Structure 1
Amino acid sequence: MDNSYESLSDFVKHFYIPSYVLSPDSDAPALTIAPPESPVLVFVNSKSGGQLGGELLLTYKSLLNEKQVFDLGVETPDKVLHRIYLNLERLKEDDLARHIRDKLKIIVAGGDGTAGWLLGVVCDLKLSHPPPVATVPLGTGNNLPFAFGWGKKNPGTDTASVELFLDQVLKAKEMKIDNWHIVMRMKTPKEGPCDPLAPLELPHSLHAFHRVSSTDELNMEGYHTFRGGFWNYFSLGMDAQVSYAFHSERKLHPEKFKNQLVNQSTYVKLGCTQGWFCASLFHPASRNIAQLAKVKIANKNGQWQDLDIPHSIRSIVCLNLPSFSGGLNPWGTPNPRKQRDRDLTPPFVDDGYIEVVGFRNAWHGLVLLAPNGHGTRLAQANRIRFEFRKGAADHTFMRMDGEPWKQPLPMDDETVMVELSHLGQVNMLATHDCRSRSMYDPSTPRHQDSAEEYDDNEDDSVTEGEEFRKFGAADTFKIPDEVDISHLS
């Protein structure tokens, strides 16, 4: 309640928003409220992190005005933000409300899918003052929070932990990151549906992958068209298949997925049972990317060209941020020779280009844990297109910002196409030592200096089996701390 404002600590007052700013049904308080330095709206997925989401929700409500803290299981963020910004427009002559609108920040606690949901809503509202977003790592992979310095382990939910996070938000810097749009189109199938099959119900946002309506400008007569958006990555192939198996298992047995460490151990187990570690034996060659689809990219001059995909590549990742699969960086930092010879750059998050990386199997992925390890660098592009070969497979697996789905493919159609393209930017909050880099930040040179740790001089097209040599030769290689190998029976 607003009359509790006087009892708040000076620190908490930096983030406090009075109720009348949030809702037209509340009256302005009689007491004077100092303009908050960092007013926040807090969105918590109470179902994330086992019981942690619910506990975190209660802690934020006990610290702040409970009306500025929202449970995503009760009310969707698009409705909340639409209501609040309508009220801010009504109060545009109010000095405090105008200050809060200009300084507003958003905190979202959940997995990568939840964070993407909020980012999508902020983009869709097309606000004149879009608030930057800070992400609390409450999922399994937590790639988005890790990329911007917020960590990857589930946080504490006590008052001290929440105040520590709020202090980081107060000191954080703003960074713009690229938005990416995905469109998939195919002829209307003669029989059977081809809608995406997701193990979990996806958030109701324009950016969740879904079929467009008949009135959408992307709709074409005689075709099924799907669209979506992402900020971290889009992947196609076997890694998405393992993720799909994990989410399907969690949906069937939610009681087994209450702990981040157990979740990550289960993920590794499923990688084994799905054949990801022995892909050459258990994964049909017809599902390898080169056999499944022709890949084209728009080069830096905007012209389309074929992208050569090695026949052993079973998974392809289109990466916007330097964090994938729990904080690994598949692109790495190309050394100066590769930057020059292949026109490659470090992975900036706001340069309008996406990094395209290939993997053969899970052993190839483990190379990322070696010093300066990276996947097979295929290209950097601002548009990429997958043209699926007729009859190559009746389905494939796709994943976008932590949300996987099984995608049926019509066997008699040679026009199935997926295209990724750049679509604007969104504001993020980041700690000052985060791993994400901006090409416009004066402290981040456009070309890396000699102090930068580059990858080795080996060619990107490492032969099948070469990953085993690199895996064994890495002095500092270790299973990630988050995975308890005693669970891997």
Structure 2
Amino acid sequence: MESFDPQEGYHTFRGGFWNYFSMGMDAQVSYAFHSERKLHPEKFKNQLVNQSTYAKLGCTQGWFAASVFHPSLKNVAQLAKVKIMKKHGQWQDLHIPQSIRSIICLNLPSFSGGLNPWGTPSGRKKNERDLTAPYVDDGLLEVVGFRDAWHGLVLLAPKGHGTRLAQAHRIRFEFHKGAADHTYMRIDGEPWKQPLPKDDDAVVVEISHLGQVNMLATQNCRSKSVNDVSSSTSHHNGEEDDDFSDEDDSRAEPEFRKFGAADTFRIPDEIDISQLS
């Protein structure tokens, strides 16, 4: 939903429940794939073809050689002024490295087929930058940046992660008249081409938590609650532990998994499921 505030002079886009929001070259490749599939749906009949087409578009769009084919004026830092809110009512500027061409805001630790761009920061990162693991009920959004497709491929490694930029309760992108007339955005795999201001107007995309809903979760679910017993396990020797093991999950007591509703919907043993219509 879009609204316009004449006093502030900018457009604001508000959405509903979502898993992730991305902007930049990653969304550009996704938009090219989406457009191609709409034009030729008969060519996208199986997963192998889809993946190979996506990889090909990543090459033709310059995502694998972004430093050569992607103008630096279209990098995230040049396109938008990014602000975050860590404390209520206090906005602060977020520094985006000049090399970042794609930025992702995570509501859940799952992106592009179940990858975890944030990972699990080490104890040293916790002390130095106050970065924590991605909990689903801490009210924080994880903001991650990527330079190019090669940088994104590190997510396939067990402890791979992107450039951790911040954790915040709210994040705001302010687009003003600049070098580009559009950019690309994506929410949960649905990309679009976003026009940018051509005059003194501004486009603002603001993301924040509105509330919480119950979630169904298995014992080995990657998403964790701040109340999980397993989340209290300390990191050793300042090293990163990007994966929560199944052994840790099995020790989590059900009463602490407040975000999981699996037990709530369990059918009692005395009920014959075959008699249910």
Which TM-score bucket, shorter chain as reference? 0.7 to 0.9
Taking the aligned partners of 2:205 and 2:112, their CA distance within structure 1 comes to 23
Summarize the Cα distance change of 1:452–1:264 in structure 2 as closer, same or farther, 3 Å threshold.
Answer: farther
Summarize the Cα distance change of 1:432–1:307 in structure 2 as closer, same or farther, 3 Å threshold.
Answer: same
Unaligned runs of 5+ in 2: 243-277
Structure-to-structure mapping, 1:131-142, within 5 angstroms: none
Choose which of 399, 416, 426 in structure 1 pairs with 2:213: 426
Taking the aligned partners of 1:255 and 1:374, their CA distance within structure 2 comes to 35
Choose which of 74, 79, 83 in structure 2 pairs with 1:292: 79
Choose which of 312, 328, 349 in structure 1 pairs with 2:115: 328
2:2 corresponding residue in structure 1: 211
Aligned residues: 240
Taking the aligned partners of 1:314 and 1:227, their CA distance within structure 2 comes to 23
Summarize the Cα distance change of 1:342–1:272 in structure 2 as closer, same or farther, 3 Å threshold.
Answer: same
Alpha carbons 1:316, 1:356 under 8 Å: kept: yes
2:256 corresponding residue in structure 1: none
1:346 corresponding residue in structure 2: 133
* 1:211 Cα offset (Å): 3.1
Summarize the Cα distance change of 1:455–1:308 in structure 2 as closer, same or farther, 3 Å threshold.
Answer: farther
Taking the aligned partners of 2:43 and 2:238, their CA distance within structure 1 comes to 42
Choose which of 39, 45, 52 in structure 2 pairs with 1:252: 39
1:454 corresponding residue in structure 2: 240
* 1:368 Cα offset (Å): 1.5
1:246-291 per-position Cα deviation (integer Å, ceiling 9, x unaligned): 1101100111112122212211111111100000111111110011
Alpha carbons 1:333, 1:453 under 8 Å: kept: no
Matched, 1:236 2:23: yes
Matched, 1:400 2:191: no
* 1:415 Cα offset (Å): 2.6
Q: For 1:429, what is the secondary structure of its paired residue?
A: coil
* Aligned-pair identity (%): 77
Taking the aligned partners of 1:237 and 1:229, their CA distance within structure 2 comes to 21
Question: Which of these two proteins has the greater Rg computed from alpha carbons?
Answer: 1
* 1:375 Cα offset (Å): 0.5
Residue 113 of structure 2 aligns with an amino acid whose one-letter code is G
Summarize the Cα distance change of 1:271–1:305 in structure 2 as closer, same or farther, 3 Å threshold.
Answer: same
* 1:330 Cα offset (Å): 0.8
Q: For 1:228, what is the secondary structure of its paired residue?
A: coil
Residue 404 of structure 1 aligns with an amino acid whose one-letter code is P
Summarize the Cα distance change of 1:344–1:302 in structure 2 as closer, same or farther, 3 Å threshold.
Answer: farther
Unaligned runs of 5+ in 1: 1-209, 213-218, 457-489
Summarize the Cα distance change of 1:444–1:277 in structure 2 as closer, same or farther, 3 Å threshold.
Answer: same
Alpha carbons 1:230, 1:400 under 8 Å: kept: no
Taking the aligned partners of 1:235 and 1:437, their CA distance within structure 2 comes to 22
Choose which of 412, 416, 420 in structure 1 pairs with 2:199: 412
Q: For 1:262, what is the secondary structure of its paired residue?
A: helix
Residue 242 of structure 1 aligns with an amino acid whose one-letter code is V
Residue 109 of structure 2 aligns with an amino acid whose one-letter code is P
* Highest RCO, 1 vs 2 (Cα 8 Å, sep ≥ 6): 2
* 1:302 Cα offset (Å): 4.5
2:56 corresponding residue in structure 1: 269
1:69-92 per-position Cα deviation (integer Å, ceiling 9, x unaligned): xxxxxxxxxxxxxxxxxxxxxxxx
Taking the aligned partners of 1:443 and 1:373, their CA distance within structure 2 comes to 21
CA RMSD, 1 decimal = 2.1
Taking the aligned partners of 1:452 and 1:427, their CA distance within structure 2 comes to 34
Alpha carbons 1:237, 1:397 under 8 Å: kept: yes
Alpha carbons 1:211, 1:227 under 8 Å: kept: yes
